[in-house]
Chain A
Amino acid sequence: MTLIETKNLWKTYTMGTEKVHALSGVTLQIQKGEYVAIMGPSGSGKSTLMNLIGCLDTPTQGDYILNGKAVNKMNDDELANIRNREIGFVFQTFNLLARATALHNVELPLIYNGSGSLDRVEKAELALKRVELTDRMLHKPSELSGGQRQRVAVARALVNDPSLILADEPTGNLDSKTSVEIMKLFDEIHRQGNTIIVVTHERDIANHAHRVISILDGKIATDEIVTEDQRRKAQ
């Protein structure tokens, strides 16, 4: 079943009098349950593609269908609803609320869909259990290590049971040992049936996925399947 379908996506920024094409006609399909890496050097347009797929932004031109819904025609609030229900973000810089506990950070998406507070706490505790942070639930981000912070972010991404986990350079701020841990966590989440897209510029990280899409100059350069062998090496 197709989860993501983009047709000829363009994103154009106007800088002064000049028009810059961050994306020039990206067409791709991602099936439910896939584990995909999007690779590319900085300036290639991979971040722009991630923002569009993550419904943080809308394309200048082209269609984007997420889970059967035409997202490219939605307004800000409808996009917010889609982000809330369909997408779980994991960012390079964690993006946790500094003053809030791990538990409250994980609860956050549930606040905006109107869940009751008991329901919220129950779901958040469950998500934290999945990332093995049950004993750190009431710690604030400043009291957690980098790896723990990123696991809180993963729990927050999982808590609403979204159809897509979208990770933007999830290991970019972590040492190599912690990076491995986090990528193992993604592997595990994928095995449980979630669809994952990881945006990265590192081949090793990308090889955890089952499919790697390379972006160059706003276009898809290559779209390859990762072999078992390559994957084992990366792990």
Chain B
Amino acid sequence: MIAASLLKISIQALWANKLRTGLTLLGVIIGVTSVMTIISALEGMMGAVESQLDRLGPSTFIATTIGGVATSEEQWHEMLKRKPIDIDYADDILEGCELCEKVCPRTFNSANIKYRGERLRDVFVMGSTYNLIDVVDFEVDQGHFHSREDDIYRREVVFIGETVREALFSGVDAIGKSIRLDGKKYTVVGVAKKMGSMFGQDRDKFVVIPLDVSIKQFGKPRRNSNFVIKARSVDDLDEAMDEARIVLRSLRHVPYDKPDDFILLTADAILDQLNSVTRIFRMGLVGISSISLVVGGIVVMNIMMVSVSERTREIGIRKSVGARQNHILLQFLFEALLTTLTGGLIGIVLGYIAAASLVQMIDMQISPSVFGMVAGLSISTGIGVIFGIYPAMKAARLDPIKALSYE
């Protein structure tokens, strides 16, 4: 009951000092907005990376020689010196690793593509066996992915990304048409569903051709290859990776006392590494933007101090008619909290808008995050309490006699 009345008194006091309240709000809004922008944008980016990695699936991993994060220059040089992974190992891995369900070797090249008069430069060309579609989460929009027979008979067929389709076949059905990859003729058998771009990179500017066809055209791959391996189930993933490691060590003749000269990467491991590499960067950004939050807090405290000394007499009057210390404390704390919470709410909305337009520049989207909102609200409440409590306590402890005679 008393708290409700005190809250009303606080609202009236804030309303009566619109300019002062507005300036305090501005301080809080700037602080919360900048922090929320950073948090939302970072969270959005990490979320996008995560959803991208999810295409790998929770039971798949990649075997490669260069990858992950090199923590020193020596390690990087060591990685570069490793002999490339041999894509002929696919059958050996499948045989030696009982828990591996599918093994899919891949090569990576690039080519210029032509269809009639249309031309598209530097398209990412992946060579893979027919089972890539079961291992990596491409979605087929039209036609189909190349088949086992296409692999066996080394047919010159191609599965194209949306960007390629758009550039070469706008308004025309692409299936069955012949295109040229660096001059060599391929027949389009399927089109992938659009994936959109990320970090400004177009993820639909690719084609996939049968593995042996790609070797025939581009030569045997060196470092531009890896394996995607799918375990029988998510639960088998760890054991499958162990088995695959043993097979690869023996195939690559790694002495028992030497570390692996290859890497097995899961989506989780990639995400972890990404997280750990970007952690300092992210903390730094949040830290820098927090400075404006502290400044906002100091604005609140400063204005509260002015408000308390300006209203010394009012405090004296309230105390003389029986207000206890806590009543005065609450009245002023409510003022601080109302200001910071309102500022916080506005800041969350503005921060979200700013973050959304920021990440849009790198072709991504964010959705409002519960974490962000909870963080924003607790941050602004925290500022209200931390920076409001001292002036409020100062008010609460005023001596009523001195306060009443204050001019």
How far does the Cβ of A98 sit from chain B's closest Cβ, in whole Å? 8
| B: interface residue count bin | 20 to 34
Closest A residue to B321 by CB, please name it. A109
Q: What chain B residues lie within 8 Å of A160 (beta carbons)?
A: 322
Report the stretch among A2-10, A24-32, A76-84 that lies at the interface: A76-84
Contact status A117-B324, CB under 8 Å: no
B354-407 with Cβ < 8 A to chain A: 400-401, 404
Report the stretch among A60-68, A89-97, A189-197, A207-215 that lies at the interface: A89-97
Contact status B404-A95, CB under 8 Å: yes
Contact status A77-B325, CB under 8 Å: yes
A20 within 8 A of B: no
Which 5 pairs show the lowest CB-CB distances between chains A and B?
A: A84-B322, A109-B321, A112-B322, A80-B324, A77-B324
Known: A91-B404, A111-B2. A96 touches B322 (CB 8 A): no
Contact status A97-B314, CB under 8 Å: yes
A84 CA / B320 CA spacing, docked (Å): 8
26 contacts between A and B (CB under 8 A): A51-B401, A56-B400, A56-B401, A56-B404, A77-B324, A77-B325, A80-B319, A80-B325, A81-B322, A83-B319, A83-B321, A83-B322, A84-B321, A84-B322, A89-B320, A95-B316, A95-B320, A109-B321, A111-B6, A111-B9, A112-B2, A112-B318, A112-B321, A112-B327, A117-B5, A156-B321
Known: A51-B401, A91-B404, A116-B1. A76 touches B324 (CB 8 A): yes
Q: What chain B residues lie within 8 Å of A81 (beta carbons)?
A: 322, 324
B317 within 8 A of A: yes
Our pick among A76, A84, A97, A111 for the contact of B325 (Cβ within 8 Å) is: A76
Contact status B321-A108, CB under 8 Å: yes
Chain B residues near A (Cβ < 8 Å): 1-2, 5-6, 9, 12, 16, 313-314, 316-327, 400-401, 404
Our pick among B1, B2, B16, B322 for the contact of A80 (Cβ within 8 Å) is: B322
Our pick among B1, B318, B325, B401 for the contact of A57 (Cβ within 8 Å) is: B401
A156 CA / B2 CA spacing, docked (Å): 18
**Chain B interface, DSSP helix/strand/loop, else mixed:** helix
A85 within 8 A of B: yes
A113 within 8 A of B: yes
Contact status B320-A56, CB under 8 Å: yes
Q: What chain A residues lie within 8 Å of B6 (beta carbons)?
A: 111
Contact status A80-B313, CB under 8 Å: no
Contact status A112-B323, CB under 8 Å: yes
Closest A residue to B13 by CB, please name it. A99
Known: A51-B401, A56-B400, A112-B327. A97 touches B317 (CB 8 A): yes
Contact status B401-A95, CB under 8 Å: no
A114 within 8 A of B: yes
Contact status B324-A112, CB under 8 Å: yes
A56 CA / B327 CA spacing, docked (Å): 17
A89-B321, A160-B322 are known; give 7 further A-B pairs, CB within 8 A: A76-B324, A76-B325, A91-B404, A95-B404, A111-B2, A112-B322, A156-B321
Could you mark each residue 180-220 of chain A with 1 if its beta carbon is under 8 Å from any beta carbon of chain B, else 0? 00000000000000000000000000000000000000000
A57 CA / B401 CA spacing, docked (Å): 8
A97 CA / B16 CA spacing, docked (Å): 13
Q: What chain A residues lie within 8 Å of B2 (beta carbons)?
A: 111-112, 114
A76 CA / B327 CA spacing, docked (Å): 12
Contact status A114-B1, CB under 8 Å: yes
Contact status A95-B313, CB under 8 Å: yes
How far does the Cβ of A46 sit from chain B's closest Cβ, in whole Å? 14
A108 CA / B9 CA spacing, docked (Å): 11
A40-76 with Cβ < 8 A to chain B: 51, 54, 56-57, 76
Known: A91-B404, A111-B2, A112-B327. A99 touches B16 (CB 8 A): yes
